[in-house]
Amino acid sequence: MQLTLQPADLLVIGGGINGAGIARDAAMRGLRTALVEQNDLGAGTSSRSSRLIHGGLRYLEQGEFGMVLEANRERRTLQRIAPHLVWPLPFVFPIHRGDRISRWRLGAAMMLYDALALFRNVRLHRMLGKRGMLEAEPMLRDRGLLGGARYYDAQCDDARLVVATARSAAHHGALVANYMSVIGLERTAGRVVGAQLEDRLTGERGVIRASVVVNASGPWADQVRRLEDAGAAPLLRPTKGVHLVVDRARIDHRTAVAFTSPIDGRVMFVLPWGDLSYIGTTDTDSSEPPEDLRVTADDLVYLLRSVNARFPSARLGVEDVRATWAGLRPLVLDRDDQFPSNRSREHDIVHGSGGMLTVVGGKLTTYRSMAAEVVDQAMRELRHRDGRPRQGEARTDVEALPGGETADLSQFRERGLELGIPPVSIDHLLRHYGTEAAGIFNLGGADRRLFRRLVPDHPAIEAEVVHAVRRELAQTVEDVMVRRFHQYYEHSGQGAPAAHRVAELMGEELGWDTVRVQAEADRYLKFVKNGKR
């Protein structure tokens, strides 16, 4: 069968945070917008980050003051438009004797950090002596501890931020299609005027025409560019970032901890996530295909040794790792820079030989402002091509993302209690869905069985699966378990006991027969068996 697709003003290739942000901005300006993603929304780099919306303290070392100023502004914006997905997070940064960063240097950086945040952070930093640091984090290594600092950044649910942004784009009229591969580009007189598409789930093919095409495919950007120009020079020099998950009690830290690795001196983090901690990140050059990225033994050893050096009582080993994830940062190629950690996180927008716009680089925190810049360029292209008048500025910094309409969720909590939902599941729902938890309550109100937990030792309930299919474009069990409510990372069995029930619930929504239900459950179980991502 052939796909029938309406022409668009703007086609965005790539459904990570950058692509979703571009689609939202364009749709809010009134452009006919389409977004296509070859996998699930955010399945590449965007759901494999450090889950931080941060001002970029370490970028001060590289003199990227403009980026830090922008990142601090964007952090405030995201906390305002998505308070359920982006929330304040207190940090401590301990300094030990012999560390690459001295205590006075950290203090100077903290003063500058507060200034670039326009002194509008949750709280200003505070320098701590050895005693103050041990009061804040008693399990830190005592020997050689000189003190450090307490400061604030923000934590986020990266995968859900992508989904919410894409859904907002759809709300404003954008076509959003996941599992839709670009297999070729359409041309007229040498210009790129659309794309040839294939639905990866059905095999259907079709063509979508577009006045402007934007390549926002992250680590796949060079690959897509070669569809435009087989000889296109690479724009990327990707680096791999690995995180691992352990039980928080093993480290017994009270808050987020930033520190320098004793192995190579790079800044890394131990971050709280409920009863778990995740540790990251590595930053190494990688030539692996993005879809085949693997966590190596060397990656694990680096992270575990670094943490054990700061928290010696943890004594973490490979056997303590519950899950991992690895992502490729699509950093801009700088042939003169041999050190991955020094590579700029700035973005670049490149005009291809056929007129396609490719955006590379950037960071999760500043996706919204970068998207506005891309759409500004697309608007200039449209005015040049067909003389259309300038559209109004998007209000992406004002309009809340789905679920973020208010930060006061007390009435929703009361409603959940009235319905008999366990408090732990209510907390989980409010954190993941914000005001949209009301819709999940309504699903269970119509069928109380949907209030059942999928597994006894994780707060996710069956109604979330139905919501994920109906409202959040989930198409596979992996989409639900990994990126909609993270049971893969948070459950001791990585959600395997719930796989068949999730497949059954999805099948009822998507019309799967019993054979398909079993096949989808088996596919997820194979995914789990293949090891830690």
- Write the pLDDT tens digit of every residue in 30-76: 999 999 999 999 999 999 999 999 988 878 887 888 889 999 999 99
pLDDT for position 340: 53
In the predicted model, is pLDDT for residue 341 greater than 60?
A: no
Confirm if 200 and 38 have CB atoms less than 8 A apart.
yes
pLDDT of residue 198 exceeding 90: yes
CA 270 to CA 243: how far, in whole Å? 10
Q: Is 17 exposed, middle or buried (0-12, 13-18, 19+ CB in 10 A)?
A: buried
CATH 3.50.50.60 domain range(s) in the chain? 8-46+159-236+344-386
Q: For 6-30, how does the pLDDT look when each residue is reduced to its tens digit (9 = 90+)?
A: 999 999 999 999 999 999 999 999 9
The reported pLDDT for the residue numbered 316 is 98
The class of domain 8-46+159-236+344-386 in CATH terms is: alpha beta
Phi and psi torsions of 177, nearest 5°: -130, 115
Residue 205 has pLDDT above 60, yes or no: yes
3-state secondary structure of 347: strand
**Cβ neighbours around 381 below 10 Å, total:** 18
Domain with CATH 1.10.8.870 in the chain: 410-529
Residue with tokens 């452009």: 31
Question: Which residue intervals of the chain bear CATH 3.30.9.10?
Answer: 82-155+237-329
CATH class name, domain 82-155+237-329:
alpha beta
Share of the chain above pLDDT 90, in %: 87
Name the band, by pLDDT with cuts 50, 70 and 90, for residue 292: confident
**Secondary structure letter of residue 228 according to DSSP:** H
State the average pLDDT over residues 166-192. Answer: 98
pLDDT value, residue 119:
85
User: Which one, of 13, 18, 58, lies nearest residue 348 by Cα?
Assistant: 18
Is pLDDT above 60 for 123?
yes
Question: Does the pLDDT value for residue 335 go beyond 60?
Answer: no
Mean pLDDT value of segment 132-148: 98
Query: In three state form, how does the secondary structure of 25-67 look?
Result: HHHHCCCCEEEECCCCCCCCHHHCCCCEECCCHHHHCCCCHHH
Confidence band for 390, pLDDT divided at 50, 70 and 90: low
Q: What is the mean pLDDT of residues 434-456?
A: 95
Q: Which CATH architecture has domain 410-529?
A: Orthogonal Bundle (1.10)
pLDDT in the model for residue 343:
47
Is residue 245 predicted with pLDDT exceeding 90? yes
Q: What integer is the mean pLDDT of 452-463?
A: 97
Task: Render pLDDT for 343-388 as a digit per residue (tens, 0 to 9).
Answer: 445 889 999 999 999 999 989 999 999 999 999 999 999 998 877 7
